[in-house]
Structure 1
Amino acid sequence: MSNRKLTFLSLLSAATIAGRIFFQFLPNIQPVTTIIIFTAIYFSFIDAILVNTLVIFISNLYLGFGIWTIYQIICYTVIILIAVILKKFNNFKKSILLQAIYSFFSGFIFGLVYSLLISSMFSNFKSYWVYLLADMPFNLLHAIGNIVIYLIIVPILLKIIKKYFY
């Protein structure tokens, strides 16, 4: 990994941590999903996992650390895997709008996976639907926040990486 790339990913992680902490008063509205999708599409799977893990571990030291930290990393890893698959399609990689739409649906993907993990821990999947339905308003907020943040932040980040990486 080049020094330039390492520096960029470090700054991206630090900004995402700061954004996550800054937006903590808004339920489920935060830049994490946007940044990891961006990193998975424009860098690599490993880079996105690195950013994901750093952001969740470091911000959870401030916001609260528990078993949910591992669950968050798993949920974001699923989102990263899907983004890596989607970036193989040229239309997806070239279209910020398609990427933003994926970021919207990622709010619900996160909720589906998180509810599955939580229900497996507490009730052997018996209450999966209860967790999922109770979480749906928060998933919707997550989805709306993702698409708005994606459409604002990614064009700026693309200008930066085009200047320094392409």
Structure 2
Amino acid sequence: MARFRFPVLIALAVFIVALALTAALKDSHYILLSLVLLGAALFPLFAGLERRPIESRELVLLAVLSAVAAVSRIPFAALPSVKPVSAIVILSAYVFGAEAGFIIGAVAALVSNIYFGQGPWTPWQMFCWGMIGLTAGWLRGTWWMRKRTGMLIFGFVWGFLFGWIMNIWYLISLPDAFSWKLVVSAYIASFYFDLAHAVSNVVFLSLLAGGWIKVLERFRKKYGLLQKE
């Protein structure tokens, strides 16, 4: 894990800088920013190529998990903020680490928006889901994440953090002058959706955690994929 931490931090810095640029560039360059952030998400993987040979089946695994996370949004399209994406990203990062979680989360956001529609919100979603994977991977060895209750609380908290970060994009995009009243109104208005996301994370983690972790661990051990540091 240590050898990937520096590339991951560089990628995270690129994410933050690119998100800051959305305040100035707004809607007209969101596709370019999305591609820049996708490159940032993949940077740790490319850096890993310089340190050890990475097998094609590892790339396939990351692509499949990203696709599964992306497609999982579609059946729940009619239910705002209810989606298993965060749970899948958390479980993938728990087994394969922060690097994989970061990539899966960011790529899933970009790919799923091919169906839901790309927009200036896409880079922010990539950042949020990437951060969910990153933090889940960093914490996977702690006693907190190893307990089912701890993992559920982690998912619940990130349901709110996801919405709070997305609110920043919303506030930046408004033509109105900044005011704390506007900020409070935005966060109050988003409470229901944030709560729905948080609760759905708990539900999906409860349903998927046992089976998914066993299956992914089996793949990791049997084929030596993305071995823990």
Aligned residues: 165
Q: Does 1:154 align with 2:209?
A: yes
Q: Does 1:21 align with 2:77?
A: no
Larger radius of gyration: 2
Residue 84 of structure 1 is matched in structure 2 by 137
Contact 1:23–1:29, Cα closer than 8 Å, also in 2: yes
Residue 117 of structure 1 is matched in structure 2 by 169
Structure 1 residue runs of 4+, over 6 Å off?
Answer: none
Contact 2:70–2:111, Cα closer than 8 Å, also in 1: yes
Bigger Cα displacement from structure 2, 17-26 vs 133-142: 17-26
2:88 is matched by which residue type in structure 1? I
Structure 1 residues 60 and 124, CA gap change in structure 2 (3 angstroms): farther
Residue 105 of structure 1 is matched in structure 2 by 157
Give me the CA root mean square deviation: 1.9
Aligned equivalents of 1:94 and 1:13: distance in 2? 23
2:216 is matched by which residue type in structure 1? I
Calculate the TM-score normalised by the size of structure 1.
0.88
Aligned equivalents of 1:107 and 1:100: distance in 2? 11
1:45 pairs with one of 84, 88, 98? 98
Q: Does 1:33 align with 2:90?
A: no
Residue 163 of structure 1 is matched in structure 2 by 218
Q: Which secondary structure does the structure 1 equivalent of 2:78 belong to?
A: coil
Where does structure 1 lack aligned partners over 5 or more consecutive residues? Answer: none
Aligned equivalents of 1:2 and 1:84: distance in 2? 21
Residue 183 of structure 2 is matched in structure 1 by 128
Where does structure 2 lack aligned partners over 5 or more consecutive residues? Answer: 1-53, 222-229
